[in-house]
Amino acid sequence: MKTRIKISLLPASIILISLLVACAEKEDYSHIIFKNYLTYEINRATNFLESATEGDAEGEYKAGSRQAYQSVIDGARLVDEKATADQEEIDLAYQNLLDADAHFFDQMVPYRSVFQELIAYAGVVLANTEEGEQEGNVKPGNKSLLEGAVGDANALVSLNDLTQRMLDEGTVELNNAIYFFNGEIIGRATTALVNPAFELPGYETNDFGAVDGWSTFGKVEEWAPLASVVAMETAPEGDYVARFGSYTQGVYQQVEEIIHPNADYTLEFELSLLSNDPDWQGKKYPAILRTRMIVFEQEVGNFSFITVLSESFDTLGIKPGDFAPFSHSVTIDAVSPSIGKKVAVDFVQRHTWDTENPIWAQSFVALDHIRLYRKLQ
């Protein structure tokens, strides 16, 4: 005889339901008011407004805009400090703050000059690039596309009701057009170095204020000779070269080239060691040329605040000789902080960079035929 055992599931079901109800009651937060995000936004807006200035200069804000923003902040603070404020009031005050912040941003005098620099760069790229099938040419049809983007940018920057928000969107569009154009260039593109062979001003001078594109840099002794532009029959390009040496300042140029992401930059030039005198003990030392690609982080020419993208030290030997080619390269990745800034190049000649053990010997070099190439990866 088989015995059947019947197990009732009812008690277990009741227990399960009770647990679910208990959990639901435990997770009911409807009675709690959340306002930390409102407090944070009030503090952020207050600190930001303290640094904002009204005026007509770029980056300043239109008259009366600070008070309008302050009124919304004050209203939000009343809600934040109100003990009986419900969640709906807090959320509304928070949204009002966000809307006021967006409106205040649109009251800023836009940075037209920055956008105009980008337009100018696009013009340099167009003027410096020919359509064709050779290396350095852009594929046919691309110049008209970039010219159209430049036309749109000029129309945008001339608007009377222009806002920074509109400029930011326009900057993205123009940058995309420039990057696309440069991506259609075959092989390496030649950047727009000014006076790359020192042919201007067309006469010999040690006044670099008269030498198009180039300036001098660095501290030297009062008795030191000056860097100069001189005529030279063996110049690789044209009739003139830059002449500088171990006691003179170096030379530099900020190039009209905005640094691109995912790009290789190559600096090429030709150099000759003109002379290399011994020191007071009759000993001769190898002359060394330092070349760099840099970014000025503040005003152009302020070498106290630069980012060095690449640096090369080339030993020229002891004996003077003919012109020889030199080059060095740098790769800019997709997230470099230098993207969008202008690149500069500098050249200086010494026997050593050990300031505690200087070498007192005079030498001179001749620099000519400088090129800076860009190749997108």
Q: Which two tokens stand for residue 80?
A: 């934040």
CA angle 195, 200, 205 (to 5 degrees): 120
CB 124: neighbour CB atoms within 10 A?
15
Residue 95 to residues 46, 70, 145, 165, 246, Cα–Cα distance (Å): 16, 15, 41, 20, 64
Q: Which residues contact 212 (CB under 8 A, 6 or more apart)?
A: 194, 195, 200, 201
| 207-229: average pLDDT | 96
Q: Which residues contact 171 (CB under 8 A, 6 or more apart)?
A: 115, 118
DSSP calls for 164-225: HHHHHHHHHHHHHHHHHHHHTB-SPEEP--SSTT--SSSS-BS-GGGSTT-EEES---TTPP
Domain 10-105, classified CATH 3.30.450.20, yes or no: no
208-376 folds as Jelly Rolls (2.60.120)
Q: Is the pLDDT score of 6 beyond 80? A: no
Predicted pLDDT at 32: 83
Instruction: Give the pairing of strands 228-231 and 240-245.
Output: antiparallel
Residues pairing with 216 in the sheet: 251
Three-class secondary structure of residue 244 per DSSP: strand
Distance CA 150, CA 118 (A): 9
Q: Is the pLDDT score of 16 beyond 90? A: no
Residue 241 to residues 187, 205, 238, Cα–Cα distance (Å): 29, 11, 8
- Greater confidence, 64 or 32? 64
Predicted pLDDT at 79: 95
Predicted pLDDT at 350: 97
Residues pairing with 217 in the sheet: 250
Topology match between the domains 10-105 and 208-376: no
Say what angle helices 112-127 and 142-157 make with each other, to 10 degrees. 160
Predicted pLDDT at 33: 83
| 255-280: average pLDDT | 97
Q: Are 330 and 211 in contact (CB under 8 A)?
A: no
Q: Which two tokens stand for residue 306?
A: 């630069």
- 227-262 exposure pattern, b = at least 16 Cβ within 10 A, e = fewer: bbbbebeebbbbebbbbbbbbbbbbbbbbbbbbbee
Burial tier of 329 (Cβ tally within 10 Å: 0-12, 13-18, 19+): middle
Q: Is the pLDDT score of 1 beyond 90? A: no
Beta strands in the chain (DSSP E): 189-190, 215-217, 228-231, 240-245, 250-258, 263-276, 287-296, 306-317, 324-332, 342-350, 363-376
Instruction: Give the pairing of strands 342-350 and 250-258.
Output: antiparallel
Query: pTM above 0.75?
Result: yes
Three-class secondary structure of residue 73 per DSSP: helix
Q: Is the pLDDT score of 2 beyond 90? A: no
Distance CA 1, CA 127 (A): 106
Distance CA 6, CA 246 (A): 105
Predicted pLDDT at 26: 58
CA angle 182, 185, 189 (to 5 degrees): 80
For the domain with range 112-187, which CATH number is right: 2.102.10.10, 3.90.550.10, 1.20.1270.90, 1.10.2020.10? 1.20.1270.90
pLDDT digits (tens, 9 = 90+) for 137-194: 999 999 999 999 999 999 999 999 999 999 999 999 999 999 999 999 999 999 999 9
pLDDT digits (tens, 9 = 90+) for 328-338: 999 999 999 99
Tell me the domain boundaries of the chain.
Answer: 10-105, 112-187, 208-376
Kindly indicate the confidence band of residue 8, based on its pLDDT and cuts at 50, 70 and 90: very low
- Tell me the one-letter amino acid at 289: L
Distance CA 43, CA 45 (A): 6
Q: Considering the chain, what is the average pLDDT of its residues? A: 93
